[in-house]
Amino acid sequence: MNSRSSLILSVSAILALVFLAAAREIQSGPEAAQAQCPPMHCQMIRAGEIEAIIGDGAGHRTRPGIWAMSSINHQFSIMKNMSSGMLAGEFRGKANTVLEYIDDSTSAIKREPTPDYPTRARLVFRARGPYYLDTELTLSDTQDRLKGVPWDFRAVAVNCYVNSPDDLRAHFLAGGEWTAFIPEKHAGPGTDIAPSYLKDSELEVWPKVDDPPFNWYKRNEKRFDEPFYYGRFGKMVLVLVFDQPRWIRFYLSPEGGGESLIPGMTSPAWDFEWIIPRKDYQTKREYLFRTCLVYKQYVSDEDVLREVRKVQADLGYETVAQLKGN
């Protein structure tokens, strides 16, 4: 048999195998075909002016959360390269975090409890026109996370590592006035900001421990009046609006996101956490924490506040007025 005949037979054999595999796939149905596909580790979601890439971090150096976020008005991603926004501690460093595709505008990351971290968690990201990214974090502890620890609260921490803004400061209302603040250094004085609408007796007490989180014992003398803050990216503004105002805290760092890809710039951490007091904490209870990211062109501080009120009304977030019974 000459070499040309051998080549023809080899090609024919390969084609036969391809057709046979395709036939088996058709016979076994779409479920089997889907099962053979590798799992997705990231998804782009879009609505209106914004788009975001949500990833679970598996097999990548990037952390689970928002890998990138941009607008038709500003194509530069506002989330830190090789890090992420909305990086919840329930997923950070957890190998069993997986991505869940919901639809073209909605994605989620989730994980099941493990012996070393007994928490079931799911974080949904939903892009909504014209420029909203709604998030819903649902979690429940399968074991008592406060057993044997010296603190009297369950912290639900979320990092928001943003990408190289000219203005590193977070902007919020304090004492009825607009305030812009970032600590001078990581873990510096004033890192932790509590709400003004709570009494001192209602705030968490930080115990003395050998290796405390970087925001402990560094509470800012100023307190925020409303459960939101914003940051600027040139002509754009990113507003984070929070539900559960009794439990929300801000904590900030000028360089928590690490060095920027832009020489001479850093990536701040505009972080936050919810504090569940021991009296409100139960194992196997499901908790829901919601945050809306508003990413649009900046108009004014008054416009920011209008957006906050719109989010609260549209999504049914609890307000400070409701908290006070007004």
Distance (Å) of CA 19 to CA 11, 26, 37, 81: 12, 10, 18, 43
Put simply, whether the predicted model's pTM sits higher than 0.85 gets the answer yes
Q: Residue 5 above 50 pLDDT?
A: no
* Domain 42-323 classification at class level: mainly beta
Q: What local confidence, expressed as pLDDT, does residue 2 receive?
A: 45
Share the mean pLDDT of the chain.
89
* 200 backbone dihedrals φ, ψ, rounded to 5°: -55, -35
12-36 confidence digits (pLDDT tens): 443 343 333 444 444 444 454 445 5
| pLDDT for res 84 | 86
Question: Residue 59: what pLDDT?
Answer: 63
Confidence of residue 6 (pLDDT cuts 50, 70, 90): very low
Summarised one tens digit per residue, pLDDT across range 120-172 is 999 999 999 999 999 999 999 999 999 999 999 999 999 999 999 999 999 99
From residue 137, give the alpha-carbon distance in Å to each of 92, 211, 274: 14, 27, 11
Q: Cis peptide leading into 130, omega within 30 of 0?
A: yes
Classify the C-alpha dihedral 149-151-153-159 as positive or negative: negative
CA distances from 73 to 67, 132, 160, 295 (A): 19, 14, 21, 10
Q: What is the pLDDT of residue 39?
A: 80
Q: What is the pLDDT of residue 36?
A: 59
Question: Do residues 48 and 296 lie in contact, with contact meaning Cβ atoms separated by under 8 Å?
Answer: no
Domain segments of the chain as ranges: 42-323
Beta carbons of 308 and 239 less than 8 angstroms apart: yes
